[in-house]
Amino acid sequence: MSPEHSPRRSRVITVEPALTHLSKLTASETHRLDRAIVAISVNPELGTEVPGTLLRDYTDEVDGVRLIYFVTALQTITIVAYVEA
């Protein structure tokens, strides 16, 4: 990889229950959530594994955001129904 190119980000998909939840967030909460989504898109392994599942749990203590998600083999991140902001 040449120096002028950054690593490829993962593609983020949000499922319908999470989208419904997102529509209820304030602008400030959405901004904080966006920062967390960017963080996991750059490094999908930030979250900790949820035992016995394919899910990962990421909490950003600074912004007070929690995401439950899974990463596919092609590095697509799917955010599941639970989003805390």
Buried b (16+ CB within 10 A) or exposed e, 11-37: ebebeeebeebeeeeeeebeebbeebb
Please check whether residue 39 is in contact with residue 62, taking contact to mean a CB–CB distance below 8 angstroms.
no
What is the average pLDDT across 31-40? 87
3-state DSSP assignment of residue 51: coil
Residue 82 pLDDT: 55
DSSP element (H, E) containing 60: strand 55-60
pTM reported for the whole predicted model: 0.74
Q: How do residues 47-81 score in pLDDT, each as one tens digit?
A: 899 999 989 999 988 888 888 888 887 877 777 65
Residue 84 pLDDT: 63
